[in-house]
């Protein structure tokens, strides 16, 4: 049983780092991983109509008279630039609800790491010449990862009651029913339909991939947003090249 009372006092923040894709949006991510662990990411993202309407309503409720972009590229860039493992961030608004830009990662194994704890394991082959990246996300690790990304996204996801931010066990059906009861079924339907598309190029031909598909040096992933928000089962993605 979900304790509804603890959700009533959440504040609503509008700085939403796009790299995790943790909101009702359409997102396309193009990436390049270099030997040694450096990476470059290019992304384009836009909020879905119901999510946009909700955020604008919340802004009005909080007394904000101005109407800056829902996705503030400059604010998001500043927030993400301070996260571990990130060399540079450049995001710009291409509309009130859309943005695009690039993120440069100094080492994928350091991304959002803290005290030796990380959710990405990068292994560079030496004698075998084979390298790999393993990404594991579960309810034990997700809240800490989100908090290291930025306090804004942590409280935003708490406002959306996402188990990934709270560490609370819930099925996908229970989560969507909860969102529908608070914000309405149309928003729950948007979350259920939203997907994160990622296409990542690696230094050599991909030998095997878990959680996606590969052709040549490129691995493709198509992840339902609700899987990330709820983490009913741990998510594991692995690429060997």
Q: Is residue 124 part of a domain?
A: yes
Total domains in the fold of the chain: 1
pLDDT for res 39: 94
Q: Is residue 103 part of a domain?
A: yes
Q: Is residue 151 part of a domain?
A: yes
Q: Is residue 2 part of a domain?
A: no
pTM of this prediction exceeds 0.85: no
Full residue range of the structural domain in which residue 188 is found? 24-240
- Which residue from 87, 88, 85, 150 is spatially nearest to 122, judged by alpha carbons? 85
Q: Is residue 30 part of a domain?
A: yes
pLDDT for res 227: 92
Q: Is residue 166 part of a domain?
A: yes
pLDDT for res 19: 32
pLDDT for res 116: 65
Q: Is residue 163 part of a domain?
A: yes
Kindly provide the b/e burial profile for residues 20-44, where b requires at least 16 CB atoms within 10 angstroms of the residue's own CB.
bbbbbbbbebbbbbeeebebbbebe
List the Cα angle 42/48/53 in 5-degree steps. 130
25-33/195-201 β-pairing: parallel
Mean pLDDT per 10-residue segment, the chain (241 residues): 37 29 64 93 77 62 58 78 87 82 91 75 80 91 76 66 88 95 87 88 96 95 90 94 95
Q: Is residue 11 part of a domain?
A: no
Count the helices and strands in the chain (H runs, E runs).
8, 11
Instruction: Quote the CA–CA distance of 233 and 170 in Å, as a whole number.
Output: 10
Instruction: Quote the CA–CA distance of 201 and 208 in Å, as a whole number.
Output: 13
pLDDT for res 142: 87
Cβ pair 232, 170 in contact under 8 A? yes
- What is the dihedral angle through the alpha carbons of 30, 46, 15, 60, rounded to the nearest 10 degrees? 180
DSSP string, 4-45: GGGGTT--------GGG--SSEEEEEEEEE-TTS-EEEEEEE
pLDDT for res 240: 96
Phi, psi at residue 85, to the nearest 5°? 85, 0
């Amino acid at each position: 049983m979900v304790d509804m009372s603890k959700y009533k006092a959440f504040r609503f923040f509008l700085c939403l780092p796009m790299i995790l894709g943790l909101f009702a949006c359409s997102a396309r991510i193009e990436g390049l991983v270099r030997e040694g662990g450096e990476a470059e990411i290019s992304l384009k993202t836009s909020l879905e109509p119901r999510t946009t309407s909700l955020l604008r309503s919340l802004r009005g409720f909080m007394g904000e008279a101005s109407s800056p972009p829902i996705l503030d590229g400059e604010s998001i860039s500043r927030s993400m630039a301070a996260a571990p493992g990130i060399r540079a961030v450049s995001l710009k608004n291409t509309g009130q609800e859309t943005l695009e830009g690039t993120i440069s990662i100094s080492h994928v194994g350091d991304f959002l790491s803290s005290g030796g704890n990380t959710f990405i394991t990068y292994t560079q082959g030496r004698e075998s010449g084979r390298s790999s990246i393993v990404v594991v996300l579960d309810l034990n690790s997700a809240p800490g990862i989100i908090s290291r990304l930025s306090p804004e996204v942590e409280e935003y996801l708490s406002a959306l009651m996402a188990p990934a931010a709270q560490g609370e066990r819930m099925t996908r059906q229970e989560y969507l029913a909860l969102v529908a009861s608070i914000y309405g079924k149309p928003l729950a339907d948007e979350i259920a339909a939203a997907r994160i598309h990622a296409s990542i190029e690696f230094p050599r031909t991909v030998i095997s991939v878990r959680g996606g598909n590969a052709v040549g040096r490129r691995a493709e992933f198509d992840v339902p947003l609700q899987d990330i928000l709820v983490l009913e089962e741990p998510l594991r993605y692995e690429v060997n090249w």
